[in-house]
Structure 1
Amino acid sequence: MNLPHNITLTAKKVLQLEAEAIARLAEFIDEGFQKCVEAILSIKGRVVVTGIGKSANIAQKIVATLNSTGTPALFMHAADAIHGDLGMIQQDDFVICISKSGNTPEIKVLVPLLKRKGSKLAAMVSSTDSYLAKNADYILNANIEREACPFNLAPTTSTTAALALGDALAMCLLEARGFSSADFAHLHPGGSLGKRLYLKVGDLYTQHEAPYVSEHARLKEIIIEISSKRLGATAVLEAGTEKLVGIITDGDLRRMLNKYDSIEGITATDIMTPAPLTIEAAEYAVEALALMQNKSITQLIVTNSGKFGGFVHLHDLLKEGLI
């Protein structure tokens, strides 16, 4: 096999061409783009994205992005549309047709059928003089100067430009709808991404027992509490109240042995770290993770309205896939 003379040079050239094409798209974001966004916001139906060949692949990705960011959408292959799938389009739907040339045979057959159904049509095209562009209600200009392919044939720059323009459209719709991270979490409940957006500390700490001792507790009681609850630490509460005054960890016990020649009569107050770092149960689990990583610790005391509730451990976050 004869490898290209300079693989690195070729790769950099492709990336530069595609980056320049995307940057150039900003010049085409005009009043027509804004009106297209406004039209989509006003519909009662869904956004139907269609295309053929590589454009169909891009259409599927744009549909996925729209659905996940609050704009109901579905994909329709342009070739299948003229063989029965056109029935999926309802009167209140909005169609986006992706085509570099805007002149493919399937598109020329499809466009009149869409117009007959009364659907609003946006053309995402590289050629604004094409059949598709001239017959569309809105134009999303995805013009490129050339493909990254050395023969200017393989869809490369054109598909990248269409993908980026689709992202721009989806993000405009997201912001216009006031779509929030909480909304995003509702649509992405599975996997670590969803958990980062909805999992609370309160969902985790109740899985454990809540080790605690009185500030006057003796060493034996402290060791038994830490060992039996198996979290490597215990909270220290003010005697006769639920007020948190400190924390004792395995490390504190080791440091205590180095500090005192005699351990007789030692109480929790002598060993504990006062005013420990805490997190409220209502906080997101990712906040607990950030605190642990920032302070290089493996557990946090959880509070409920300021009162001791229990512990959340780094292993809990690991088990949930947040790390």
Structure 2
Amino acid sequence: MNDTKSILSIAKRTIETESKAVQNLVNLLDEQFAHAVQYILDSQGRVVVSGVGKSAIIASKIVATLNSTGTPSIFMHAADAIHGDLGTIQKNDVVVLISKSGNTPEIKALLPLIRIAKNKLIGITGNMDSVLAKQADFVLNTYVEKEACPNNLAPTTSTSAQLAMGDALAISLLELRGFSSADFAKYHPGGALGKKLYLRVADIVANNQKPKVDANSSVKEVIVEISEKMLGVTAVLENNKVVGVVTDGDIRRMLSTHDNIGELTARDIMTSNPKSVDVDTLAVKALEILQSKGISQLLAFENETYAGVVHIHNLINEGIL
């Protein structure tokens, strides 16, 4: 049975090998990268990313990253391209071919076809003497000294380098386009990520009940309101203006300090100047406020009018937390 120490040693060696190779890409970047980014930025077409084997998988991921960050892209498998899928490439598209060796048969077969169509070609390769490097309009060097695989065979370090170079392309384009979090939300409407970018307090309070009592309401009325609305809090109003809140905690503190509660009102036990947010506030920002204040609820206001309550459980249910 293998011991923990030897297993961790293998894992650490793998990560160290790959991290050093990725770090070395900084030394390999040159004007070719900048020209490639600028050409994509000025292009009226899409980015078609292609490769074979593990490089094809990396190409697919780069396409996903480009699409999600504002650069229209499409994946094309190099082997399929020479067997009928070459029509994927349109007139104004920029083609990115990924290959560690730059000399695979599929890449060699594809290169003259791209040349005939006169599309600009960006090569991502670890072999600057390869056919791909010599025929590409722009070459991005992803040379790695060795694979993490002890046999130096399984694509590991090389694919990490390819992926990092693809991310560098995507993020460069993102920043040059001025791609904002609002733009990002348009491309990620689903799931927790999308909700962090577009879900607002108004979307939450609209589905909650709206607990409120008058400042002169009895303690019993306050308890009933908190219990019925099930948010652990009620706003206290006077002349239709919020003057405080009563929470479950306020009720517990009242019971521990008062023997006779029959004469008490909401005003007597409320917390003045309650923490609040505007309904247009992003839900993720409301979460930050709740966490920083160590509280569970916030009152929401619309144009200074009480609109409801946002509870931390709402944010948990939405996947924000």
TM-score by length of 2: 0.96
Q: Which amino acid aligns with 1:123?
A: G
Q: What is the CA-CA distance between 1:261 and the residue it aligns to?
A: 2.8
Task: Give distance in 1, aligned partners of 2:108 and 2:255.
Answer: 84
Superposition pairs for residues 136-175 of structure 1, below 5 Å? 136-175=136-175
Pick from 264, 267, 272: which aligns with 1:266?
A: 264
Counterpart residue number, 2:302? 304
- Which residue type is aligned with residue 280 of structure 1? D
Structure 1 residues 255 and 5: CA distance shift in structure 2, 3 A: closer
Please tell me the residue identity of whatever aligns with 1:290: E
The alpha-carbon deviation at position 211 of structure 1 amounts to 1.3
Matches within 5 A, 1:86-97: 86-97=86-97
Instruction: Give the C-alpha shift of residue 4 in structure 1.
Output: 11
**Residue 99 of structure 2: aligned partner:** 99
Residues 95-148 of structure 1: per-residue CA shift (max 9 Å, x gap): 000001111111111000000011100110101111111001000111111111
Tell me the amino acid that sits aligned with residue 65 of structure 1. Answer: T
Q: Which residue is 2:16 aligned to? A: 16
TM-score, scaled relative to structure 1? 0.96
| 1:20-99 alignment runs, 5 A limit | 20-99=20-99
Do the aligned partners of residues 230 and 2 (structure 1) sit closer, same or farther apart at CA in structure 2, a change above 3 Å counting?
closer
Give the aligned residue type for 2:313: H
Q: 1:35 to 1:234 in 2, by over 3 A?
A: same
Mean Cα deviation higher: 75-84 or 143-152: 143-152
Contiguous gaps of at least 5 residues in structure 1: none
Shift of 1:14: 1.3
Question: What's 1:318 paired with?
Answer: 316
Distance in 2 between residues matched to 1:2 and 1:257, nearest whole Å: 60
Q: Distance in 2 between matches of 1:25 and 1:166?
A: 12
CA RMSD of aligned residues (A): 1.6
- For 2:256 and 2:222, the matched residues in 1 are separated by 17
CA deviation profile, 1:195-230 (whole Å, cap 9, x unmatched): 111000000102122111222222232222222222
2-structure distance, mates of 1:148, 1:52? 20
Structure 2 vs 1, CA of residues 78 and 4 (structure 1 numbering), >3 Å: closer, same or farther? Answer: farther
Aligned length: 321
Give me the whole-angstrom Cα distance separating, in 2, the residues matched to 1:165 and 1:86. Answer: 25
SS of aligned partner of 1:91: coil
The alpha-carbon deviation at position 161 of structure 1 amounts to 0.2
